[in-house]
Amino acid sequence: MNVKAKFQHLMDTQYSRPAGVLGWFIGEKMIRQHKPETLWTIENLQLQENERILEIGCGAGSAMKQIASLNGCHKVTGLDVSETLLQSAALRNKKAIRQKQMALVHGSVEEMPFPNEKFTAVFSIHSVYFWEDLSISLKEIERVLSPGGTVLITLCDGKDGKDWGAIKKMIQSELLPIMEQFKFEDLRVLEGPVSRGYHTVAVCGVKSSTL
């Protein structure tokens, strides 16, 4: 493997599981880069009073900090595979954690350490690319989501006016059909902001409240 290939492999690994000083730097960089779609995602959750919210792939905790600042008495939990980013999120959200408004958990979407129906809303921003098994991940989301709860998965499907065929195909032939299989209702693909040339969309649905 040449130097360029080694560097690319390092960066790919860091974006999927940031670690160490470089991982910390990437976490802070992602906060700045993803601000437009983060604010848009939170807005589209349409949170009501006293929501119990889970962010999958919470990173350095910027979205959680935004939610904690809202006047809704929300409880928010962040899940991430990166211990480095969880440390950053803890520093960023010391007050909310101290007041037990927020919790941070180390773990993966494929095996979440939460009881059934714990959350009224589940969301992720730019983490779905790294989920190893969509079916298992969505089954876990359905399990931890309360009936009538919302799931919203934000991702990019193109850049500079050009579609990413593989991502669009994944949404239409995998993500949406699997969500339908798990009885999610009101399935939609929302058109989001263009951020740094990247076209943002969100796949959202509601967990069925009927047996």
Q: What is the pLDDT of residues 56-69, one digit of tens each?
A: 999 889 999 999 99
Residues lower than pLDDT 70 in the chain: 1-29, 31-32, 211
Q: Where are the domains of the chain?
A: 3-207
| Whole-prediction pTM | 0.87
What residues form DSSP beta bridges with 75?
52
Q: For the domain bounded by 3-207, which CATH number is listed?
A: 3.40.50.150
- What pLDDT shows up at residue 73? 85
Task: Give the C-alpha separation, 170 to 163, whole Å.
Answer: 13
- What pLDDT shows up at residue 210? 76
Question: Which of the 8 DSSP states describes residue 108?
Answer: B
- Give the helix ranges, DSSP H, for the chain: 3-16, 20-33, 35-45, 62-68, 83-92, 94-98, 134-144, 165-170, 176-181
Chain segment 2-26, per-residue pLDDT in tens: 434 433 333 344 444 555 545 555 6
